Amino acid sequence: MVGTVELRVFETQNLSEAGAVYAACFNEPPWQDGWTNESAVQRLEALLQFPTALSQIAFLEGSLVGLAIGHVEPWVDGPHFYLSELCVSPAHRNRRVGSALMEGLLGRLSMCGVVSVYLLTERASAAEGFFRAHDFARDSDSIKLWRQL
């Protein structure tokens, strides 16, 4: 039986545990980024300090197993939310943790008057499938441009 996912606000006291989850998640395919716990904590800490940051963490059976974080941006038709990161510990996937994070986040955003959510992810990945299952669609007008320095 799958335990109940408990959602909480992501606070700085959770950074170490959240950094470990983040590194474990994004060091696996398809990303294989090479995060250390220290670099993951630095990224998450920076995201938490954004003035309009909104975040949450997920606990399952007493352990921090997932997180979602992004920020609200003003836009012409109302506030939009950029979902910077949503990740679940590889050992806890397929236990509805990601869905609980997404549903909780969308509920909070709706109560705040946010009119849309956008994000970046890898094409044809499990992540894309997850977001499509939660009614996200590809934006046919957008492309990601990148320049290495």
Name the residue among 92, 105, 101 with its Cα closest to residue 62.
92
Q: Is the dihedral of CA 46, 47, 52, 54 positive or negative?
A: negative
Tell me if 147 is assigned to some domain. Answer: no
Instruction: Give me the number of domains the chain comprises.
Output: 1
As given in the structure block, the two tokens for residue 24 are 């474990």
Query: What strands, in cross-sheet order, belong to the sheet with 80-88?
Result: 5-8, 53-60, 63-73, 80-88, 116-118
pLDDT tens for 30-76 read: 899 999 999 999 999 999 999 999 999 999 999 999 999 999 999 99
Tell me if 34 is assigned to some domain. Answer: yes
pLDDT (0 to 100) of residue 2: 59
Domain that holds residue 25: 5-133
Q: Which amino acid is at 42?
A: Q
The answer, yes or no, to whether residue 26 has pLDDT greater than 90, is: yes
Tell me if 99 is assigned to some domain. Answer: yes
pLDDT tens for 108-137 read: 999 999 999 999 998 888 899 999 999 999
CATH classification at residue 111 = 3.40.630.30
